[in-house]
Structure 1
């Protein structure tokens, strides 16, 4: 009873803090430019440090924190390093988008895709990232709500609903501007809470050292590192929470901001993976983010709850603002000055996403096989979008057009879907020879290496065939 009361007191305190921060936008009629572009009331774009803090905390997902700790518990320090490698995505996205903006003058990824590959290809891309946004809702509310009660309990459901409604309300009012304003405070709060956790855990490692894993486990962890290193060339482009922020400041400021944000958020994830190492040292069962605070005591349970709350909140409000932009502007190829009607349309899309995005949480009632299968089926993984790497990184090729897009996009999507089905049905679809490395991610690494090569080859063939057709 005491733990529950303190958790809800923490949640109310968080809500009050965020409420105070968004008063600048919630108390007045916000302009469409503020809503979609995150500009100040005076029409100024976000400053460098606001961009850095927003981009960094928006990628420190609650599920990412949970995954980093779990991977460290499974593979040792290589698990944490592997997950931190994903944050090199910031640098990949920053460089690619910098040249798209400077050389092409594009205002969004969708405007580039329409111009380069055509409207059909742009729509396919937007559908893929829409599924990604849908996935962000339930996956973050679930991680947070588990601190209030076991999955399926009344406390769990009430926390999920209250958290979603509160985040939705203030994002409806201010859109991207509200998201940016709250992100800066959420970043500071998350950093403070991480410092408290590290202060508690580091003395243990100073005295006892980091856990030693078997060579087999270490090689499995290195395999995961390889998988992350391959996926960073495609992964950032299907996350509008990241890429939307690449167009709200000048190209040079964006390049600087994304580079620093990648360093900060990657370091945050690496340091938080120490929670998993602590769990591994003591052979704790269950998720490290739940097991470790129980061992440390009630105060640390609240600290862990707080860090999940801030990270999930920053991701969820960014998700809602990206949904508004995707549905009201990108899908309809609206790249001029935002309008109030677009704001209203985007707000309706936010509400729909808040409701539909939490439906996968109901899969707990569908059985052990059906529930996970539904969740896997709604996830656009890094494997599924491997074809985005050549689509964006080789876009400088003048003869790469619609055919190149399709020959890169579809092979990756098909391979990714087959991999999801393989996991969901617990059957073998891919032959053993495709594996590279060892452990549970060996198939994934092989699939991504060979699949990326296939997607790139398809892209180049499409460019060659277009060139040949143009010469005839």
Structure 2
């Protein structure tokens, strides 16, 4: 019972601290753009820390450990590769801002591809944000009980309410400020946990723990290499931070946080590799299972890591959904809601907190929140990366965008013929769909641009 009070007590204390430290924001600039009371943007350190920790999702560190347990070092590198899309996104956004005067992702899509394209893109963003809610609350719930159990659901909902309250208090400004605190908590306790694990093996045990074969995790690594060209652009948690500071400050923050994120995810996968080396049975939540075998202290440390990681992502998700629905879309329609946008944003946060937790309540695989949504948005790669190199056209946008969406749904429904699979591994079909799909999306984007340029 005392141990139970300790675990639940941490969750409550964490919530009180976040609510107390989170700054209250009453201005549109603060709530939606992260400005301070004087209207100044976030500093380089704050922005870097925010990008770093808000992209260290609880589901991500769990997936990294799970893949480490399944494929060894190959699995850790495969998942950490996703974080290389942060520097890539930084360079792309820098170019769009400097060369084409972009001020935001939604407005950029609207100005270059029309309102229809912006609405379709916003729908993809909503799917992404929806996935971020349940996938992160599920991870926290998993440390308090088995999936769909009363303890699991109660812990996830308590965590959601805590995060929702302080997110409504300050929007994006609150998210960025608390991210810095959560980043420190995360790094401190991850180092502590890794310090408990690494001495149990030699470095060689970790380095040579994988098998560099297509069906032993290399297929997942190749999927990551393909998806990094599109994955960041459907995530407003990341892209919103690409337009709130000076271009060079933004680029520096994106590069540094991406490199740090890659290292952090790879290091955290060592937890899964350790589980593999000690022959711990595979599960959907290796860190939780491992923590239980290492004693109360290690398990509590694991909870602290996951709550800080999940909290940073969930508050960013709430602030992003508020900005998209109460600020970006109304502005696209030519309506400036003023301070009413803040109230509307708060209401949307509450709605998303409720709807977004439905998959958590019924139970589902958190890895699907990354791989499936990543496939659906492969069509965004040419739209952002080739913009200006190929003449932008509305037809090119829709051919590329909807090709990815259709392939993503087809993959989910398992209706793609097996001939398109590459290799025999678990991710063979995922790899094939992403490779051939990315080629199709590029063709769909490029051909209308060339026809328009040469007036054929």
TM-score normalised according to structure 1 size: 0.91
Determine the structure 2 residue equivalent to 1:415: 407
Determine the structure 1 residue equivalent to 2:395: 403
Q: How far apart, CA to CA, are the structure 2 residues paired with 1:207 and 1:42?
A: 49
Q: Deviations over 1:344-399 (max 9, x none)?
A: 111111111011111112324xxxxxx67x99699851111100000111111463
Q: Deviations over 1:223-280 (max 9, x none)?
A: 2111100110000001110100111101110000000000111111000000100110
Any conservation in 2 of the 1:36–1:338 contact (CA below 8 Å)?
A: no
Q: How far apart, CA to CA, are the structure 2 residues paired with 1:378 and 1:203?
A: 32
Any conservation in 2 of the 1:53–1:187 contact (CA below 8 Å)?
A: yes
Determine the structure 1 residue equivalent to 2:18: 18
Determine the structure 2 residue equivalent to 1:340: 339
Q: Deviations over 1:13-66 (max 9, x none)?
A: 2123212321xx23xx62111111101111111000100000000000000011
- Superposed, 1:146-295 pairs within 5 Å as 146-206=142-202, 209-210=205-206, 215=211, 219-285=215-281, 286=283, 287-295=285-293
Q: How far apart, CA to CA, are the structure 1 residues paired with 2:434 and 2:370?
A: 20
Structure 1 residue 178, shift from structure 2 partner: 0.5
Any conservation in 1 of the 2:63–2:367 contact (CA below 8 Å)?
A: no
2:375 is paired with a residue whose SS is coil
Structure 1 residue 206, shift from structure 2 partner: 2.2
Structure 1 residue 465, shift from structure 2 partner: 2.9
Match of 1:41 among 27, 37, 47: 37
Determine the structure 2 residue equivalent to 1:449: 435
- Superposed, 1:111-150 pairs within 5 Å as 111-150=107-146
Determine the structure 2 residue equivalent to 1:368: none
Determine the structure 1 residue equivalent to 2:301: 303
Q: How far apart, CA to CA, are the structure 2 residues paired with 1:331 and 1:318?
A: 18
Determine the structure 1 residue equivalent to 2:379: 387
Q: Kindly tell me the number of residue pairs found equivalent between the two proteins.
A: 453
Q: How far apart, CA to CA, are the structure 1 residues paired with 2:164 and 2:443?
A: 43
1:381 is paired with a residue whose SS is helix
Closer/same/farther in 2, CA of residues 104 and 413 from structure 1, 3 Å limit: same
Structure 1 residue 411, shift from structure 2 partner: 1.2
Larger deviation, residues 149-158 vs 278-287: 149-158
Q: Deviations over 1:429-467 (max 9, x none)?
A: 333332224411122112111110111011111112323
Closer/same/farther in 2, CA of residues 215 and 181 from structure 1, 3 Å limit: closer
Structure 1 residue 330, shift from structure 2 partner: 1.6
2:373 is paired with a residue whose SS is coil
Q: How far apart, CA to CA, are the structure 2 residues paired with 1:378 and 1:346?
A: 26
Q: How far apart, CA to CA, are the structure 1 residues paired with 2:322 and 2:60?
A: 24
2:413 is paired with a residue whose SS is helix
TM-score normalised according to structure 2 size: 0.94
Larger deviation, residues 290-299 vs 74-83: 290-299
Determine the structure 2 residue equivalent to 1:349: 348
Q: How far apart, CA to CA, are the structure 2 residues paired with 1:207 and 1:168?
A: 41
Any conservation in 2 of the 1:76–1:280 contact (CA below 8 Å)?
A: yes
2:440 is paired with a residue whose SS is helix
Structure 1 residue 295, shift from structure 2 partner: 1.6
Closer/same/farther in 2, CA of residues 336 and 202 from structure 1, 3 Å limit: farther
Instruction: Give the superposed CA RMSD.
Output: 2.2
Larger deviation, residues 212-221 vs 79-88: 212-221
Any conservation in 2 of the 1:377–1:420 contact (CA below 8 Å)?
A: no
Larger deviation, residues 38-47 vs 278-287: 278-287
Q: How far apart, CA to CA, are the structure 1 residues paired with 2:107 and 2:212?
A: 47
Any conservation in 1 of the 2:72–2:210 contact (CA below 8 Å)?
A: no
Larger deviation, residues 334-343 vs 314-323: 334-343
